[in-house]
Structure 1
């Protein structure tokens, strides 16, 4: 590729990256004063979040509603769950090995003494709250992404049973989908400025802690994310579409990765992910289902960060982090906290509270991992969101067969 072709292919991600790097430099130079730029970043984030709920509902409902082949829908959902669980377990094994070789709490000056594990909280109510709401108005909030997805699937099935995409409601949904995606493209024009300002504020506020007591956590976690992305993402893409799959993934994964790194939200990255999947060649009915569900359920980066936080707390409170039961509980808690983390950028404080309560740590543990959450959230979300694009490719491989990508290319 010559310079013009490279610029044409990577112009927007390069501009995005330049915005984030510039913001990081401004944040490092200005320090706490960089918070003055926060409103610019907040405006962009708020615009993205404003469009997310209608986009998720309309895209899933129209995809399911126009799918007269229910067998295909079942295959999409079945393979989606299998792939999400498999990649999550792979991430869990990787981070468990890593934190045992490089304990994240080693050499820290933080000392909380010893602690006894408290009583574990029942997870039954957490599951109910994760998939349902007790009032229709709850479906209008991005904080309830799983209930929105469940309701959208049910609505889509009802549309499919009453005429599908040729029905008046089906046509309305398809037109709404086009309008919403056009609005997304308009909002994304603000991304370089918005992400730059958002990151300037983040680095300005939390930058000094990167070299303080939490430095080892960062030194363990950031390379771990890099290893996962460099080793497993190409492997997943190869399994999904061979060498062509890897090539297309590498070409189109940059936009979602950078957007997720800057916004620290898989939900806010959804519009960019949909654009990436379209360029790769993933069928719209698949990406419209996999991506919104992935933004809530497919959290490899958050699984990595949650288990790192758990291992950190075990070290701080001088509790041996060993045993199959402890590891199994860590995986379950990591997945549950990842579900909770999906709605909001920069921290997911409810997710950290979930870790503390389910493991029975004392209240003093919460601010410790809340701080870690802010430091590790950018790469965690980057893996979460860009992994959704690759998961869509893998689901397409299962649903449409081995040569799906070559057929699209031809």
Structure 2
């Protein structure tokens, strides 16, 4: 047994996750009733990540800011530009594809108990209020905008603190990082439980009648991940972007696909940034920020679902209006929460651009909940893996200008 555990730990985490995935599918296919207890592994894994992520982010950001050396440049400006550009281009791709392959929906109910925001102003107001949220409440509710803002303020306030205080904060940060690594080692078991829950339930069976919608939506996300993002990366680092793209998708996208939460995937992304040799002062801020504003997948979902509602109702849309939708979907996506299904509640806001009544828009949201088994998983995988991708891209672009060699670890 000891030898078996040693060999297991020597395996790549990705291979171990794939083994867990396969076991989960087999159990769901052949022993759906007997193997039900494995669901607890998925709940424990996601619960542990969600529990540790807020406090980890708080200490990482506070430590990075407090110990930031004067004159040491970070790449935050470049990263934010890449986040916003990537989100806008994703919405634009979704609009173009929806024009080429229009989708109509069989409207349904199922979203009566949710309340969407009333407009862009309301979304922005909520973001601003989250910034000044009570710090204890922000940690308790995993409000990452609030956690980030207070961590930054505390970090600056501690810049002149004694070195012993800074060392203590760093020690807490390192200890929390180690705890996250322990949790991530249980990813194969967690993903086995999550896969079993998805396949053993009726969620996937309900997707059959929405094949066209899923094909357009997921096709857009794949195009963004494998065409648009690599072009952005190539323009910045001037070398083959795919080793970096595939590493981010493999090591960040897979876990994000199953956890369906950008927030829960923050610790995974932190670990990947460390493997890539990125500047901790940068990624300790950019990764939590990306889980809030880097929402390419959400922009795709909002654009495709809105134009599907437009096509279903027979509303004529010209290209200039569609371009406005690209901008609106990007703004809305930045306001999407970092939890499962966060983008769906912003569909009524985008639908209002075309005068679609709220009751009809909420039926579109109902369709979104049906296809959410795959839609939200793929959306989160794209969102979260791109956080690392663009953080690495900005730093590698800086290395290229400095004449440093860029090496992507396998």
TM-score, normalised relative to structure 2? 0.83
Higher helix share: 1
Contact 2:17–2:187 (CA under 8 A) maintained in structure 1: yes
1:61 maps onto 2:58 in alignment: no
1:392 maps onto 2:388 in alignment: no
Distance in 2 (alpha carbons) for counterparts of 1:353 and 1:34 = 34
Distance in 1 (alpha carbons) for counterparts of 2:59 and 2:324 = 37
- Tell me what 2:170 maps to: 174
1:124 maps onto 2:118 in alignment: no
Shift of 1:323: 4.3
Shift of 1:198: 0.9
Shift of 1:275: 1.8
**C-alpha spacing 1:61/1:245, structure 2 compared with 1 (3 Å):** farther
Gaps spanning 5+ residues in structure 2: where?
A: 1-7, 110-115
**C-alpha spacing 1:248/1:54, structure 2 compared with 1 (3 Å):** same
Gaps spanning 5+ residues in structure 1: where?
A: 1-6, 113-118
1:126-141 correspondence to structure 2 within 5 Å:
126-133=123-130, 134-141=133-140
Please give the secondary structure, in 1, of the residue aligned with 2:166. helix
Shift of 1:56: 0.9
1:152-163 correspondence to structure 2 within 5 Å:
152-160=151-159, 162-163=160-161
1:10-409 correspondence to structure 2 within 5 Å:
11-28=12-29, 37-69=38-70, 72-73=73-74, 76-105=75-104, 109-110=106-107, 121-133=118-130, 134-160=133-159, 162-163=160-161, 167-205=163-201, 206-211=203-208, 213-243=209-239, 246-251=242-247, 253-342=249-338, 344-345=339-340, 347-348=341-342, 351-357=343-349, 359=352, 360-362=357-359, 363-397=362-396, 402-403=401-402, 406=405
Distance in 1 (alpha carbons) for counterparts of 2:400 and 2:365 = 46
Deviations, residues 338-396 of structure 1 (Å, cap 9, x unaligned): 53231x23x23xx3233224524314333122223333011111111111111111221
Q: How many residues align?
A: 385
**C-alpha spacing 1:285/1:370, structure 2 compared with 1 (3 Å):** same
- Tell me what 2:4 maps to: none
Contact 2:108–2:363 (CA under 8 A) maintained in structure 1: no
Contact 1:252–1:279 (CA under 8 A) maintained in structure 2: no
**C-alpha spacing 1:197/1:111, structure 2 compared with 1 (3 Å):** closer
TM-score, normalised relative to structure 1? 0.83
Larger displacement relative to structure 2 (7-16 or 375-384): 7-16
Contact 2:61–2:152 (CA under 8 A) maintained in structure 1: yes
Contact 1:249–1:280 (CA under 8 A) maintained in structure 2: no
Deviations, residues 191-219 of structure 1 (Å, cap 9, x unaligned): 111112112212333110222x2111112
Distance in 2 (alpha carbons) for counterparts of 1:354 and 1:10 = 41
**C-alpha spacing 1:238/1:209, structure 2 compared with 1 (3 Å):** same
